[in-house]
Amino acid sequence: MLAEIADSLAKGDTVKLSSFGSFSVRKKGGRMGRNPKTGEEVPIKPRRVLVFRPSHVLKERINGALGGQSAAAE
């Protein structure tokens, strides 16, 4: 199953998993970056990045699992 998902994403398709979320590939253009250590400008090549968007069902389940606990208690 994971191989099928990976193959679909490699082709640029969006993969939706019901009640979980969707995976998609986004293209990022080339740009100039900076080496933080030296301050030297370096080119960053165009690339494709994987994006995950959780479903509302997953978000509600995660937030509901907290049961009123604060984030500091974790």
Asked if residue 61 belongs to a domain, the reply is yes
The total of structural domains in the chain comes to 1
CATH number at residue 62: 4.10.520.10
Domain ranges, residue 49 = 2-66
pTM of the model: 0.68
Among residues 24, 33, 26, which one has the least CA distance to residue 48? 26
pLDDT recorded at residue 67: 64
Kindly state whether residue 43 falls inside one of the protein's structural domains: yes
Residue 33 included in any domain:
yes
Average pLDDT over residues 20-33: 96
Kindly give the residue spans of alpha helices, DSSP state H, lying in the chain.
2-10, 56-65
Residue range 14-40: mean pLDDT, rounded: 96
> What was the pLDDT predicted at 33?
96
Can you give the pLDDT at residue 74? 47
